[in-house]
Chains A and B, each alone.
Chain A
Amino acid sequence: MRKTIYKLIVAASILLGASSVFAESVVVVHPSNNSVFTADIISRIFLGKEKNFSNGEKITAVTSPEKGDTKQAFNEKVLNKSTSQLNSYWSKLIFTGKGRPPKALSSDDDVKQQVANDASVIGIMDAKAVDASVKVVYRF
C-alpha cells in the first residue's frame, strides 16, 4: 500500500513536471487597444512587417526572455520558424539597417508592466502571469 502511494506521488510529480511543457502562453496588449488581431497579423507584427496597429497606433513589440519556453513556443507555433531560421531572417534586416527583432525583456512581469503602461506595446508572456492590467488577444 505504502509502495503504491509512493508510486502515485512519483507519477503525479512527473505529470506536474510535464504540464509545464504544455504551459499556455499569450499575446497581450494595453486594455485600450481595440485593434484587430489574428495569428497572421501577430506573426507579421513580430517579424517587423507590420509597423502600425489597425487603430493607427505605432507598434513596439517586446517578448519574454529569448531562451524561455514562451519565446520558443511562439517561434514554433506562431512564427513557424526554428531559432536558426529566425536568426537568419533577422540578420538580413539588422545588417542592412532595415529593422531589429522585438526586444527580449528579462521577465514576464517586465512584459506585463511595459504593456500595461504603454498603448503602443504588444508582448508575449506566460498566461499564468496575466492580470487585468493587460488584455489577452491571442493564446498559443
Chain B
Amino acid sequence: MKLKYLVPVVALCATQVNAEVNFNGFATIAGGQTTGDGETLYTYNEDLSYDNDSLFGLQVSSELDDDLSFTGQLIARGNDNWNTNVEWAFLSYQASENVRFQIGKQRGAYYMYTDFVDVGYAYHWIAPPTGVYDLPVGTVTGVNTIITGSAGPVDSNFQVLFGRERGDTLLDGEQRESDVNDLILVAWTLNYEWLTLRASHTSAEITLDFDELDPLLAGWRQTPFAGVADALEFSKDDATFSEVGIKIEVDNFQLISEYTEFESDDNFTGDQESFYVSAAYRVNDITYHITYGEDETDNDFSDLAGVPGGVDPTLDFLLGSTNLVLGSRLEDANYTTVGLRWDFNPSAAIKFEYTELTDEQFGNDAGLLRVAVSTFF
C-alpha cells in the first residue's frame, strides 16, 4: 500500500525532465492532557501525551504541462507510531477552464475542512471538532470530477468523487482494517464575498474490522438467532453521510458551523448526529476563538426483541453482552472549546486550547488542555 504509489511519481518525474518539481511540507506538534484523574477525551488521558494530534507531511507536486499535474503526499502520524503512509497520490487534468479531473488516491470533501484537515496551519483550531470530524473513511482511490464556475460575485465548486479504498481507518482513536466500496461523494460549495455555503452527501458500502466482537458474533451464530450476528456485524453495510456547513467572514470576524448525520443501520454502531458552531476574532497576530458542539448517537435494539430472555443461560449471556455493546455506542454529549492562535511567524502558529465536555449519557465529563505548533514550508 505504501510504496506502490511512489512508483508513478518517480516514473512521471523521470519522463518529464523539464517539469518543475515542487516540494512542500507541513507539521503539527501537539501536546495535551485531561485536567482530572481518570478523565479521557479524544484519546487523551491525564498523562501528558504528544502523539494524538502530532503529524508531519511532505508533498511533491509537478506540473507536467499546462493542464496536467501530479500531487503526492506522505504523512507520518504520532497516533500511528509515526509510520509514514502515502495519503495522496493523484494526477490532475484540467480539461477546460471549468472542469478538472483528479485521478488517484485523494481525500474527499466530506466536511468543510476534510481535504486539508491535516494542515493545522490552515485553520484556527488544533484540530477541527472531533465530535463532527469522525467519519470512518479517510482517503479513497478513485476519480473526482470538479466543476467550478462563477456567476457575477458568486463562485461555485461542485464535485463528484467515485472511489474505493481498502486499508486502515482511524476510528475512536484506533487503526482498524476497513474496506470501503462504491463510494459516491457529491459536494457543492457556494461562495459569495463574505458568505460560504456548502453541502455534501456520501454513500458507500463499508466493512470495518472489529476483532473484539468476533466471540459475540460466533456465539449468536450457534443459536437459532443467527440474524442478530448479521445485524451487529459491520460487514458490507450501506452507510450514508450528509453534511451542511456555513462560513461567514466579515473583516476580522469568522463564524463557522457544520451539521452532520451518519447513518449505517445494519450494524452495532448506530446513527450519529453532530453539529458545532465556532466563532473566531482576529486582533493583529492573535485569533481568539470559541466553539460549542453537540454529538448524539442512537442505536437500534429492535433485533433483540425476538430473543426470549430467561429461557437459556447462554442466550441470556449473549443478550446481556449485546445490550452492553449497543448501549456503549449511545452518545449524548456537548462540549465547549476556547482557544487562541498566535501567528508568531509568517509560516508558523502556536495554539492553546481548552475543551470541556459534558457527557449526558454516561457522566464521563472531562476537561482537556492542549497546545500545538503548526507550520508549513
Are A and B associated in one complex? yes
Residues of A within 8 A of B (CB): 49, 51-52, 58, 82-84, 87-88, 91-92, 94-97, 100
Contact check, B121 vs A87: say whether CB atoms are below 8 A apart: yes
Contact check, B26 vs A91: say whether CB atoms are below 8 A apart: yes
CA distance A37 to B90 in the complex (A): 34
CA distance A52 to B22 in the complex (A): 23
Q: Could you pull out 28 A-B pairs where Cβ atoms are within 8 angstroms?
A: A49-B155, A51-B94, A51-B97, A52-B97, A58-B66, A82-B343, A83-B346, A84-B343, A84-B349, A87-B121, A87-B346, A87-B347, A88-B121, A88-B122, A91-B122, A91-B376, A92-B116, A92-B119, A95-B26, A95-B57, A95-B73, A95-B119, A95-B122, A97-B61, A97-B69, A97-B71, A97-B92, A97-B106
Contact check, B122 vs A92: say whether CB atoms are below 8 A apart: yes
CA distance A84 to B122 in the complex (A): 10
- Of residues 51 through 69 on chain B, the ones whose CB sits less than 8 Å from some CB of chain A are 57, 59, 61, 66, 69
Rounded to whole Å, the gap between the CB of B163 and the closest CB of chain A is 15
Q: Is residue B88 contacting chain A, with contact meaning CB distance below 8 A? A: yes
Rounded to whole Å, the gap between the CB of A53 and the closest CB of chain B is 11
CA distance A95 to B374 in the complex (A): 14
CA distance A100 to B26 in the complex (A): 15
- Of residues 98 through 127 on chain B, the ones whose CB sits less than 8 Å from some CB of chain A are 102, 106-107, 115-116, 118-119, 121-123
The interface residues of chain B lying within 8 Å CB-to-CB of A94 are: 24, 59, 61, 376
The interface residues of chain A lying within 8 Å CB-to-CB of B61 are: 94, 97, 100
Q: Is residue B47 contacting chain A, with contact meaning CB distance below 8 A? A: no
The interface residues of chain A lying within 8 Å CB-to-CB of B107 are: 96
Rounded to whole Å, the gap between the CB of A124 and the closest CB of chain B is 18
CA distance A82 to B73 in the complex (A): 27
CA distance A95 to B376 in the complex (A): 10
CB within 8 A of A91: which of B88, B119, B155?
B119
Residue of A whose beta carbon sits closest to that of B345: A84
Residue of B whose beta carbon sits closest to that of A83: B346
Which are the 9 A-B pairs with shortest beta-carbon distances?
A97-B71, A84-B343, A83-B346, A96-B115, A91-B122, A92-B116, A92-B122, A91-B376, A95-B119
CA distance A96 to B113 in the complex (A): 11
Other contacts beyond A95-B116, A97-B90: 9, CB < 8 A? A49-B155, A51-B94, A82-B343, A84-B343, A91-B26, A91-B119, A91-B376, A92-B115, A94-B59
Residues of B within 8 A of A (CB): 22, 24, 26, 57, 59, 61, 66, 69, 71, 73, 88, 90, 92, 94, 97, 102, 106-107, 115-116, 118-119, 121-123, 155, 285, 343, 346-347, 349, 376
Rounded to whole Å, the gap between the CB of A115 and the closest CB of chain B is 18
Q: How many A-B residue pairs lie within 8 Å, measured between CB atoms?
A: 55
Contact check, A91 vs B59: say whether CB atoms are below 8 A apart: no
Residue of B whose beta carbon sits closest to that of A93: B116
Name which of A58, A84, A92 has the most chain B CB atoms within 10 A of its CB. Answer: A84
Contact check, B116 vs A91: say whether CB atoms are below 8 A apart: yes
CA distance A23 to B122 in the complex (A): 32
CA distance A52 to B67 in the complex (A): 13
**Known interface pairs A94-B24, A95-B119; A87-B376 also in contact (CB < 8 Å):** yes
The interface residues of chain A lying within 8 Å CB-to-CB of B22 are: 100
CA distance A88 to B71 in the complex (A): 19
The interface residues of chain A lying within 8 Å CB-to-CB of B57 are: 95
CA distance A82 to B252 in the complex (A): 11
Residue of A whose beta carbon sits closest to that of B70: A97
The interface residues of chain B lying within 8 Å CB-to-CB of A92 are: 115-116, 119, 122
CA distance A88 to B282 in the complex (A): 14
The interface residues of chain B lying within 8 Å CB-to-CB of A52 are: 97
The interface residues of chain A lying within 8 Å CB-to-CB of B343 are: 82, 84
**Known interface pairs A84-B349, A87-B376; A95-B66 also in contact (CB < 8 Å):** no
CA distance A114 to B116 in the complex (A): 33
CA distance A58 to B116 in the complex (A): 27
The interface residues of chain B lying within 8 Å CB-to-CB of A91 are: 26, 116, 119, 121-122, 376
CA distance A137 to B360 in the complex (A): 61
The interface residues of chain A lying within 8 Å CB-to-CB of B116 are: 91-92, 95-96
CA distance A92 to B71 in the complex (A): 14
Rounded to whole Å, the gap between the CB of A125 and the closest CB of chain B is 22
